[in-house]
Amino acid sequence: MDLAYIPSPSTGVVHLGPLPLRGYAFCIIIGVFVAVWYGNKRWIARGGKAGTVADIAVWAVPFGLVGGRLYHVITDYQLYFGEGRNWVDALKIWEGGLGIWGAIALGAVGAWIGCRRRGIPLPAYADAIAPAIAFAQAIGRWGNWFNQELYGRPTDLPWALEISEGVNREAGLYHPTFLYESLWCVGTALLVIWADRRFRLGHGRAFALYVAAYCAGRAWIEYMRVDEAHHVLGLRLNVWTAMLVFVLAVVYIVVSARLRPGREETVEPAAVRQGADGEKDEDGQKDEDGEKGGGGTGDTPDDAAGADPDSSSDSGGTPGSGTPSPGREAEGDPADSGSANRN
């Protein structure tokens, strides 16, 4: 008798009148909002402007969704094409099926377009949003729980996932690989945050660290899954993809650290110009006040600061008076000669 397990939802859809609220889509949307919110905080801390992350996300998110769906449909084409299949199902993204590899790849293209429109270096933007993406993935993985998909091999562990009878699945208790990946993504985000603070990662290395760390976990989690997938040399295709991308990410970190050490000083030129304009306006106000003070009685602090500091010593008198000091002239005070030398 199983005393403990994780139950699966009886349905992945809740209807509010004619409006269906799907758990999978809800998790994706919440993940996107969290990514934009936290990415914005990191971008501002790096010296960028508020709202820039959201503006670029307008390009990156749609591209990422399309890329993720394309990768899934291409690598699992047998689910949508062939005898007894309906190709229209390939468009039903709400039923699940987003490949993170395609989402990141095409999402990066969208981010690149958004960055170019604002004159922002893509690597700096990627570094800022790297842990935010990992948090978004952690949330989005719970969409698989609603759809009862992407589980692992049968197990009797206390945290086993209960799966009910359905299309292409058998009732039983399985490894909750969606939960494993969700927790791994949280750990990946925390790792990137720590490493970025400790080593001041720049030029895309924080993003590469996120990619490498995620791939390391995805490889063993993918190996546990039992859902239908293509195999190459006995391993699932996504395992090979994770290993290849991991190697590329590590190589990028090493090469980038040698070629471009340190971190970008400027991540958003518009923010720097905005700050410079603000300082100029502030200085201009001070100059205007100074001019107004100069037209007064001459006894204001501005007048004192604007007076020639050597005028009194040149005349040999006391400060603020035109009367020479005979004692100092007779003694040939060195302070007077020093003032003359400075002029």
Beta strands in 25-182 (DSSP E): 161-163, 172-174
Q: For residue 123, what are its two tokens?
A: 């690597």
Contact (Cβ atoms closer than 8 angstroms) between residue 142 and residue 27: yes
The DSSP code sequence of 180-243 is: HHHHHHHHHHHHHHHHHHHH---TTHHHHHHHHHHHHHHHHHHHHB-S---EETTEEHHHHHHH
- Answer whether 72's CB lies under 8 Å from 51's CB: no
Cβ 76 vs Cβ 134: under 8 Å: no
CB-CB contact of 200 with 209 (8 Å): no
H or E stretch covering 162: strand 161-163
Residue 30, burial from CB neighbour count under 10 angstroms (0-12, 13-18, 19+)? middle
Q: What is the DSSP letter of 67?
A: H
* Measured distance CA(124)–CA(134) in Å, rounded: 17
Q: How many CA atoms lie within 13 A of 69 on its CB side?
A: 14
User: Any idea of the CA torsion for 213, 218, 224, 230, to the nearest 10 degrees?
Assistant: -150
The two structure tokens encoding residue 280 = 């100029």
Secondary structure class of 172 (helix, strand, coil) = strand
Strand locations in 61-104 (E) = none
Please report, in range form, the residues annotated as the binding site: 141
Distance between CA atoms of residues 217 and 147, nearest Å? 22
Looking at the DSSP bridge assignments, the partners of residue 16 are 19
For residue 289, the surrounding DSSP H or E stretch is helix 269-294
